[in-house]
A and B are shown apart, each in its own frame.
Chain A
Amino acid sequence: QVQLVQSGAQVKKPGASVKVSCTVSGFTLTELSMHWVRQAPGKGLEWMGGFDPEDGETILAQRFQGRVTMTEDTSADTAYLELSSLRSDDTAVYFCATGGSGMDVWGQGTTVTVSS
């Protein structure tokens, strides 16, 4: 079965960039459509973007376009989320998730704190 293991918590200063990893086991990354979801403290879930198999490309939510990059290293079965120009309101837990119908496998979450 698929498992997703994410990298550890990070603290960044405003204006910096952060890169979060999500390593797949049980399947190869090429067999999966990976998505990224974030949750600010005390807030709801926010879909950031993910791979759309129908279009064959990664789709980003508009508010993240220009600031978010989602990449994959298939040799390491690892997906990456990079967020640049960090602001305090980017403080959140970032999840990777995958699945066929619905996202049924999630990483454990990575806490990113943006603070001066």
Chain B
Amino acid sequence: AIQMTQSPSSLSASVGDRVTITCRASQGIRNELGWYQQKAGKAPKLLIYGASNRQTGVPSRFIGSGSGTDFTLTISSLQPEDFATYYCLQEYSRPRTFGPGTKLDIK
């Protein structure tokens, strides 16, 4: 199975900051990667699919990029509602695999 890693595992930032989360696959997955946001007690929410395509309704401050093995999710200007845990998910091969998550909290 393809292994997914994320860095950092946690991150403290302030409203207005620009933050970047990285996801790395153990082998090439083309652009078949999604980013999910999860808040406590809630189901995950799809933010980005196909590595760089924003899901309908997702604010433009969420930017996904990358292909092959290295991917990033950038939040250009943090808003209070963005403090959550973020996961990447590869859909290139079966089984699908999630990254371990990045917890983003308020500094």
Contacts and interface: CB of A to CB of B under 8 A. Distances in A.
Interface of A: 35, 37, 44-47, 49-50, 52, 55, 59-62, 95, 97, 99, 101-104, 106-109
Contacts of B43: 95, 97, 106-109
Nearest to A64: B95
B100 A44 contact: yes
A102 B94 contact: no
B1 A62 contact: yes
Interface residues of B, number: 24
Nearest to A96: B43
A45 B48 CA distance: 17
Contacts of B94: 52, 55, 59
Given A104-B55, A107-B43, A46 B98 contact: yes
Contact of B101 (A45, A102, A109): A45
A106 B89 CA distance: 15
B65 to A, nearest CB: 16
A73 B1 CA distance: 30
A102 B49 contact: yes
B71 interface: no
11 contacts: A44-B98, A45-B101, A55-B94, A60-B95, A61-B95, A62-B95, A102-B46, A103-B44, A103-B89, A104-B49, A106-B43
Contacts of B49: 99, 101-102, 104
B42 to A, nearest CB: 8
Contacts of B96: 35, 47, 50
